[in-house]
A and B are shown apart, each in its own frame.
Chain A
Amino acid sequence: MLHDTTHITDRPVILSLAGLSKTFGTLKAVDDISLSIPEGEFLTIVGPSGSGKSTLVRILAGLEAPTSGDLFLRDTQITQSPANKRPTAMVFQSLALFDHRTVGQNIEFAMKMKGVPAADRRNRALELLQLVRLPEDYYSRPVTQCSGGERQRVALARAFASDPEILFFDEPLSAIDYRLRKTLEVELKELHQRTGRTFVYITHSLEEAMVMSDRIAIMQSGRIVQTGTPAEIYSAPVNRFVASFMGEVNILTLEKDTGGKQVFSEIGQPVQAARGAYAMIRPEALELGPGEITTQLTVTQRLMLGSRTQVHLVSELGATLISELPGTAPELDIGTTHPFSFSTEDIAWMDE
């Protein structure tokens, strides 16, 4: 994954969050978040449902007031300014299209609120239709007659129409089927590159975040636990939560055996120079055959993944591991036991 992020971090900060918190009764939905977002960045905030990411973006958009903390747009304090006074626009999870209106009227809404003359509005709306790759004759079509993907594009055009400095996305692609989602992810990334606007994107899918973002912030129980480029997060997750969030990975626990040596408790193998309490080993790093750290594993399940094969394995100590091998791995019948190994270079160490 090639990401050159230096050009972004050099840019001036457009939005800064200073100790933002939001409590609902006893629940801390957002817990003391500080973050600086450079101009033109595509930042994705990832977290499981209930992690507070939606509340956070609603605070940023001005739809919800924080309980404490401050929010700055460049150098202006905007913590208390309402949504309609901020130069930002949001694409909602439900899209929140105005169902009683046409595509054109939806797109023109923000301009109409500003009192832009009808003819100018129309021209701009047609431009925006082009930007989101919708045919011009959609202008007078009721939004209720649009397909799922078309509705996404209308929502996007409508948000762009207010000429916002920052666009917020609250999981707009969560209800879309897989193939269309992939297409729209790529389009969104292209749109970001073409327009140069700041995008703040919320999702529960780290995979989605990896594809699109310049930088990812991972949220857990109202806090941001890690920020970094997709590559950084991929190679060095800060804790087991982030690691497991990335999908199927092997996480091994270190413990001291009776002789005082450090061993992986799941497989009983010793390891030298441990740099954390836990070790993450990606499925593709767990290879068939002996190597630096070798263990005997029994195959319990075999799944074909196209050009690769995923095998579920169980160690002699009863722990479950996963390995991904190239090809069809014909020798790995269910119930057979084989030596598997990984090298210390492929371990990502974590403290918690």
Chain B
Amino acid sequence: MSQRSSPGPWFAAPVAIFMLVCFAAPIFIVAWYSLMPSRTFGLTGDLTLENYRSAVTDGYTRPLMWSLIGAATTTLATAILAWPTAVILHRYAGRWAAVASALIALPIFISESVRLFGMSVFMMPRGGILAGTMNAVFDIQIGSILNTWSAAQIGMIYIHLPFMLFPLLLGVSLIPADRIEAARDLGATRWQTFREVELPLAAPGLLIGMLLTFVLCLGANAEAAILGGRAVTVITAAIEQRFNYAQDWPMGAALTVIVILVTALIVLPVLSRLDLNRLTRR
């Protein structure tokens, strides 16, 4: 029976107010700041779109491009790595699969500064874990990709793999085994079964995983700093520079707004189509 006066809104209110103050308001303030004249520190100047114009003309499209490329590459790579992993873990649901899933989940809770640091000592030239071992055991000298964009890219794939894997595992578990068997029985090849049955059924999980990975990578900064040796400037690094060294808050704010807009453009259409009840009900 539907009740007219549900207490739902009362329970929603504290969270809603918190999010309004700590999430919506800051975004609004940043948006307002981005309309202030360059290098001002108040919110009372004349509104201008100058910052957005210089964002394009002063070469800030490059950091944004790098961030987008990094995010796209990572999303694709983690999806390719995570799909077979999820399928295998789901198919062999048992004690070992549970242990493996737990082991995959664990790194999410280890700080990314710890894990990226580990990646860097592993990749380090000469005395690094990999190079040192190769030298000592096999007497082979190997170079290092540390401080290149490739290293940063590997770091991003490494950090975000669990974020892709878990939604995907949820998605794959939405595929009833009999559907795959039915498709095979009806004469579908392995590839057809994947494309026509498995992929559409697991789509919600895959979509969330890709969305999460893409968005998190869009802002990723630590990978480029620790592993990439700042060989490439990503958008977050550019914003940080505007804020800290250049002391140009309105410009930094404009760049932030651009990233938020790009994020919204990607997230909102997908999120509006997802049925959150269906996903969490499992």
Contacts and interface: CB of A to CB of B under 8 A. Distances in A.
Interface string A42-65: 000000000000110010000010
A53 to B, nearest CB: 12
B4 A54 contact: no
Contacts of A58: 1
A61 B34 CA distance: 60
Contacts of A25: 4
Interface in B119-140: none
Interface in B1-56: 1-2, 4
B4 A64 contact: no
Contacts of A64: 1
A6 B2 CA distance: 40
A64 B1 CA distance: 10
Interface residues of A, number: 7
A55 B1 contact: yes
A29 B3 CA distance: 12
Interface residues of B, number: 3
Contacts, number: 9
- Grouping DSSP codes into helix (H, G, I), strand (E, B) and loop, the A interface class, with mixed when no group exceeds half, is mixed
Contacts of A54: 1
Interface string A6-39: 0000000000000000001100010000000000
A55 B2 CA distance: 11
Contacts of B2: 24
A82 to B, nearest CB: 15
Contacts of A55: 1
B3 to A, nearest CB: 8
Nearest to B1: A55
A255 B2 CA distance: 44
Contacts of B4: 24-25
Contacts of B1: 24, 29, 54-55, 58, 64
A58 B3 CA distance: 13
Nearest to A22: B1
Contacts of A29: 1
A194 to B, nearest CB: 33
A24 B2 CA distance: 8
B165 to A, nearest CB: 30
A54 B1 CA distance: 9
Interface string A293-317: 0000000000000000000000000
A64 B4 CA distance: 12
A58 B1 CA distance: 10
A350 B2 CA distance: 36
A55 B1 CA distance: 8
A25 B5 CA distance: 12
Nearest to B2: A24
A158 B4 CA distance: 30
Contacts of A24: 1-2, 4
A186 to B, nearest CB: 31
A54 B2 CA distance: 12
A83 to B, nearest CB: 14
A261 B2 CA distance: 52
A301 B2 CA distance: 44
A293 to B, nearest CB: 47
Most buried by B among A24, A29, A58: A24
Interface in A51-90: 54-55, 58, 64
Nearest to A25: B4
B192 to A, nearest CB: 39
A112 B24 CA distance: 46
A55 B3 CA distance: 11
B6 to A, nearest CB: 13
Nearest to A64: B1
A64 B5 CA distance: 12
Interface string B141-182: 000000000000000000000000000000000000000000
B63 to A, nearest CB: 52
A3 to B, nearest CB: 33
B21 to A, nearest CB: 35
A64 B2 CA distance: 11
A284 B1 CA distance: 40
B4 to A, nearest CB: 7
Interface in A185-202: none
Given A29-B1, A64-B1, 5 more contacts: A24-B1, A24-B2, A24-B4, A25-B4, A58-B1
9 smallest A-B Cβ distances: which pairs?
A55-B1, A24-B2, A54-B1, A58-B1, A64-B1, A24-B4, A25-B4, A24-B1, A29-B1
9 contacts: A24-B1, A24-B2, A24-B4, A25-B4, A29-B1, A54-B1, A55-B1, A58-B1, A64-B1
